[in-house]
Structure 1
Amino acid sequence: MTDSQQAAPALKEIFNRARLQHIADETAAVYPAFDVRAFMQHASQDLDALSVMQRLNRVSQSLHAGLPADYPQALEILQQLAPRLNSGFVSMILPEYVALYGQADFERSMHALKFFTAFGSSEFAVRHFLRLDFKRALKLMQGWSKDPDEHVRRLASEGSRPRLPWSFRLENLMLDPSPVLPILSNLNADDSLYVRKSVANHLNDITKDNPDWVLDLIEGWSLEDPRTAWIARHALRSLIKKGDRRALAIMGAGAAPDVLVNELSVTPQAVRLGDRLSLSFRLTSTSSASQRLIIDYAIHYVKKSGGTSAKVFKLKTLTLAPGESVIVSREQQIRNFTTRVHYAGKHELDILINGECLARSWFDLSE
Structure 2
Amino acid sequence: MAEPLKHLIGPQTVRDTANAVSRAWDRFDKAAFETEVLTALDALELMQRGQCIANALQRHLPQDFDEAASILHACLPTQNREGLKGWALLSFNHYIAAHGRGHLETALALLKALTPHFTAEFGIRPFIAEEQEKALAIISGWVRDDNHHVRRLASEGTRPRLPWAMRLPALVKDPAPILPILEALIDDEEDYVRRSVANSLNDIAKDHPDLVADFVARHAVDASKERLWLLKHASRTLIKKGHGKTLSNFGFEPLTDVTATLVLSQNRVAFPGALDFQIGLSNLGKQIRTVLIDYAIHHQKKDGSLSPKVFKGKSLTLAPGESLTISKRHAFRPITTRVYHAGAHAVEIFVNGCSATRQDFELHLDGASNR
Q: 1:113 to 1:25 in 2, by over 3 A?
A: same
Cα pair 1:82 1:119 within 8 Å, conserved: no
Residue of structure 2 in register with 1:15 after alignment: 6
SS at match of 2:149: helix
Deviation at 1:365, TM superposition (A): 4.6
Q: 1:267 to 1:94 in 2, by over 3 A?
A: farther
Residue of structure 2 in register with 1:201 after alignment: 199
SS at match of 2:346: strand
- Residues 261-303 of structure 1: per-residue CA shift (max 9 Å, x gap): 3463467952324x45555434332232111222211121222
Cα pair 2:85 2:118 within 8 Å, conserved: no
Residue of structure 1 in register with 2:236 after alignment: 237
1:310 aligns with 2:308: yes
Once residues 257 and 191 of structure 1 are traced to their aligned partners in structure 2, the CA distance between those partners, rounded to angstroms, is 41
SS at match of 1:304: coil
Once residues 266 and 91 of structure 1 are traced to their aligned partners in structure 2, the CA distance between those partners, rounded to angstroms, is 54
TM-score normalised by length of structure 1: 0.82
Higher mean C-alpha displacement, 244-253 vs 287-296: 287-296
Residue of structure 2 in register with 1:42 after alignment: 40
Once residues 17 and 172 of structure 2 are traced to their aligned partners in structure 1, the CA distance between those partners, rounded to angstroms, is 39
Cα pair 1:23 1:85 within 8 Å, conserved: no
**Higher radius of gyration, 1 or 2:** 2
Q: 1:86 to 1:143 in 2, by over 3 A?
A: closer
1:57 aligns with 2:51: yes
Q: 1:191 to 1:269 in 2, by over 3 A?
A: farther
SS at match of 1:357: strand
Deviation at 1:182, TM superposition (A): 0.9
Residue of structure 2 in register with 1:251 after alignment: 250
Residue of structure 2 in register with 1:30 after alignment: 20
Q: Which runs of 4+ in 1 moved over 6 A?
A: none
Q: Which runs of 5+ in 1 are unaligned?
A: 1-7
Once residues 329 and 171 of structure 1 are traced to their aligned partners in structure 2, the CA distance between those partners, rounded to angstroms, is 43
Residue of structure 2 in register with 1:3 after alignment: none
SS at match of 1:220: helix
Deviation at 1:79, TM superposition (A): 2.0
- Residues 283-335 of structure 1: per-residue CA shift (max 9 Å, x gap): 33223211122221112122233322212121222233323344434555434
What count of residue pairs does the alignment treat as equivalent? Answer: 350
Q: 1:120 to 1:327 in 2, by over 3 A?
A: farther
Q: 1:323 to 1:105 in 2, by over 3 A?
A: same
- Residues 122-155 of structure 1: per-residue CA shift (max 9 Å, x gap): 1121111112321221012212222233222221
Once residues 34 and 298 of structure 2 are traced to their aligned partners in structure 1, the CA distance between those partners, rounded to angstroms, is 51
Cα pair 1:278 1:332 within 8 Å, conserved: yes
Residue of structure 1 in register with 2:27 after alignment: none
Alignment of structure 1 residues 169-248 onto 2, 5 Å: 169-223=167-221, 224-248=223-247
2:354 to 328, 353, 356: 356
Q: Which runs of 5+ in 2 are unaligned?
A: 23-29, 367-371
Deviation at 1:183, TM superposition (A): 0.6
SS at match of 1:318: strand
Once residues 285 and 196 of structure 1 are traced to their aligned partners in structure 2, the CA distance between those partners, rounded to angstroms, is 37
Residue of structure 1 in register with 2:146 after alignment: 148
